[in-house]
Amino acid sequence: GSVDDGKSTLLGRLLAETGSIPEDQLEAARYTRRPGSTIPLGEVDYSLVTDGLEAEREQGITIDVAYRHLILPSRRRAILADAPGHEQYTRNMAVAASTADVAILLIDSMRGAKRQTHRHLTVCGLMGVQHVVLAVNKLDGVGYDKGIYEELVAEVSDTARRMEIRSVIPVPVSALVGDNVLGHSPNTPWYHGPTLLDALDAAEIDEDDSGEVRLPVQTIIRGKEFRGYGGLVAQGAVRAGQRVTVAQSGQQATITALHWLDGTKPSEREQAIPGESVTIELDKDIDIARADLLVTGEAPQLADRFASDIVWMSDQQLAHGRSYTLRCGPLEVPATVTNVRHRLDVTNGNTMAARLLEINDVGRVEIATSRPVILEPYTESRETGGFILVDRLSGETLAAGLTRFALRRATNVVPHHFEVDRQARQALNGHAAKVL
């Protein structure tokens, strides 16, 4: 959400009332105050629970992403990422969204939805967040007006529909008072939906490990009579006996054993699921290097041109024809932005012609890599479709990118056989064919 919508206060209350933070942190929040705070000493200032940087406490804003663990009523564990609301920290918010399954979007009911509210929702949609809990906050400041609540929900739902976000659950809350955060409030008798905590717990996260395997190789592990290939499973379930293909070269081999970092014996576990690090042994030695992609089924196609959406994060403008370093997991390759197709208006969803992208702009670009690589559509795989662009000299991260599709210009040049031959063309043009 936008600045001062109450994000830190809401998450602080959520953590405190579910017993997810230590008692000494709560005590510190009782007797520490920001400059200008109106909360009396002795009461918990929930916004201090997640704002840990000294600069955050001095300025009264969130600057960097803070991660806290939350135990849900179903005993599932959630990791909360408290992201900043200022426009200049959109890149920090994008980092939090890139690993999120669910987003809590806050709106200040006294000030309404702002441009930054729509920007954050747009970034969530681009980053593949499919579930949004829409928390309309500070309802105590507008007398718990149902009309204002419904108006804000309708406005934001339009943006969510445009960004193809699967589900939006609106909840009227007051983070300061605690209305509808953990329990239903008598101040909103017109609301019969779930509380904020229930809405989070109800989110159904897709943890499908039945698809095709994607295992980017991070390291080659060698030992005495041992050669293994280690990496983080990006998709599918990896099992012994599977036939895998090196996507870059087409070579095939069969997995003979799996090894885990915790020393688990291959006989004790049958498979490695997405998000787990594993080392595999193969039945034969084939040429595999770091950043190669091991897959089952049909291998994705190599390409050196891609259409991508990017969130530009740097003070320096995106420059046409300038070479950057593209990183996607262990993959690292020089890349050039060859074209800026358009810039996205985050408020209304319109696309506008643009030749440059400024800091915090979202746009569609075309990228050329120095060699053919595999970048799959981000909608199919975050791990093999998301990337960053890095300055080759300073190492600064300049943009977060999301692959939409490959531009298969290198693969659609094929021989054609025509009935009109060279002699016929020479007769038609009146001269022989030459190449200068």
- Report pLDDT digits (tens) over 367-381: 999 999 999 998 888
User: DSSP secondary-structure letter at 431?
Assistant: S
Assess contact for 102 and 133: CB atoms under 8 A: yes
**160 falls in which pLDDT band (50, 70, 90)?**
confident
Q: How far apart are CA 389 and CA 396, in angstroms?
A: 9
- Asked if residues 16 and 46 have their Cβ atoms less than 8 Å apart, the reply is yes
User: Of 314, 333, 308, whose CA–CA distance to 386 is shortest?
Assistant: 308
Q: pLDDT confidence of 413, banded at 50, 70, 90? A: low
Confidence at residue 218, expressed as pLDDT on a 0 to 100 scale = 93
Q: Please write the tens of the pLDDT for every residue from 2-42.
A: 877 778 788 888 888 787 777 767 677 666 666 556 666 65
At residue 87, the pLDDT reads 73
Segment 258-301, tens digit of pLDDT: 988 777 776 667 888 888 899 999 988 888 999 999 999 888 88
Write down the pLDDT at residue 244: 92
pLDDT of residue 231: 92
Residue 242 has pLDDT above 60, yes or no: yes
Across 83-87, 207-211, 411-415, which has the greatest mean pLDDT?
83-87
CA distance linking residue 224 with residue 401, whole number of Å: 41
Average of per-residue pLDDT across 348-377: 88
Average pLDDT, integer, range 127-151: 87
Q: Which tokens sit at 161?
A: 């529909």
What is the model's pTM? 0.76
The answer to whether 96 and 81 have CB atoms below 8 angstroms apart is: yes
pLDDT at 57 over 50: no
pLDDT at 111: 86
| pLDDT (0 to 100) of residue 56 | 46
Which range is least confidently modeled, 20-29, 46-55, 306-315, 422-431? 46-55
pLDDT more than 90, % of the chain:
19
CB environment 405-420: b (16+ within 10 A), e (fewer): ebbeeeeeeeeeeeee
Least confidently predicted of 106-110, 174-178, 183-187, 265-269: 265-269
In this structure, is the dihedral angle defined by the CA atoms of residues 242, 245, 251 and 257, taken in order, positive or negative? negative
Highest mean predicted confidence (pLDDT) among 62-66, 306-310, 318-322: 306-310
Q: What are phi and psi of 206, to 5 degrees?
A: -70, 115
Q: Residue 308 above 70 pLDDT?
A: yes
Residue 324 pLDDT exceeds 90: yes
Q: What is the pLDDT of residue 36?
A: 57
Decide if pLDDT at 100 tops 50.
Answer: yes
What is the average pLDDT value for the chain, to the nearest integer? Answer: 83
Residue 299 corresponds to which tokens in the numbers above? 């291998």
pLDDT at 39: 67
Instruction: Using the CB atoms, write b or e for 117-146: b if 16+ within 10 Å.
Output: bbbbbbbbbbbbbbbbbbbbbbbbeeebee
